[in-house]
């Protein structure tokens, strides 16, 4: 089976950008209790393309491609911690996350409880 040779030039581009912002705070509340809270925002953008140029008259425009993606993530959290002794400590927090990417759009909650007991 003999094939036909096509001569073309392909031009590819990709532009990726990322941004991250966060702020954290800790406060001593007395009697060994500590309050932790904060926020985080991240953004990612990807713009890509591939363009074909024929060097022998063939129409390659149907093979051209491009895409643009944006992703957003917003986080909030708050929690408490306390050391009751050198051997016992606890930590509890709740994080909320909002995620957006194209048609994907959701909220999630992440509760955490940790205790440490050492001998």
pLDDT in tens, 11-61: 999 999 999 999 999 999 988 899 999 999 999 999 999 999 888 888 888
As a whole number, mean pLDDT of residues 70-83 equals 96
The reported pTM is: 0.71
Q: Which residues contact 106 (CB under 8 A, 6 or more apart)?
A: 98, 99
Identify the CA nearest to 80 among candidates 65, 92, 88.
Answer: 92
Question: Looking at 31-64, which runs of residues are DSSP E strands?
Answer: 33-54
């Amino acid at each position: 089976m003999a094939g036909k040779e096509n001569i073309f030039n392909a031009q590819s581009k990709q532009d990726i950008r990322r941004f991250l912002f966060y702020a954290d705070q800790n406060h001593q509340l007395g009697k060994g209790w500590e309050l932790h809270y904060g926020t985080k925002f991240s953004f990612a953008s990807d713009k890509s393309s591939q363009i074909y140029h024929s060097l022998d008259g063939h129409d390659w425009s149907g093979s051209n491609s491009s895409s643009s993606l944006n992703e957003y993530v917003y986080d909030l959290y708050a929690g408490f911690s306390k050391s009751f002794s050198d051997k016992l400590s606890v930590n509890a927090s709740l994080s909320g996350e909002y995620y957006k990417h194209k048609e994907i759009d959701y909220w999630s909650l992440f509760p955490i409880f940790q205790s440490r007991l050492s001998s």
